[in-house]
């Protein structure tokens, strides 16, 4: 059985992989699309970044994106 955290992480990764725009995605957009609590998602995304799965960009146009091509 997968934990809630794991299910949310997989959901967030699927959303990011399907994101057609070259710009990073905001946490709030990922949370809304995946029906994931925003505060919990923040912790999950930080952990995925720590493990070099995601990258982030700060400031205007910032957010999270996959570090490697999903294909």
Helix (H, G, I), strand (E, B) or coil at 23: coil
CA dihedral for 50, 15, 34, 6, sign (positive or negative):
negative
**Model pTM greater than 0.85?**
yes
Greatest Cα pair distance in the chain: 39
Q: What is the DSSP letter of 25?
A: B
What does the pLDDT look like over 17-68, one tens digit per residue? Answer: 998 777 899 999 999 999 999 999 999 999 999 999 999 999 888 899 999 8
- The rounded distance, in Å, linking the Cα atoms of 15 and 21 is 12
- Name the residue with tokens 């809630």: 4
């Amino acid at each position: 059985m997968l934990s809630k955290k794991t299910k949310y992480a997989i959901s967030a990764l699927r959303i990011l992989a399907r994101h057609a725009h070259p710009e990073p995605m905001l946490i709030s957009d990922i949370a809304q699309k995946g029906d994931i609590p925003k505060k919990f998602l923040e912790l999950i995304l930080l952990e995925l970044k720590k493990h070099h799965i995601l990258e982030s960009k700060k400031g205007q146009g910032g957010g999270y994106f996959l570090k490697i091509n999903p294909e």
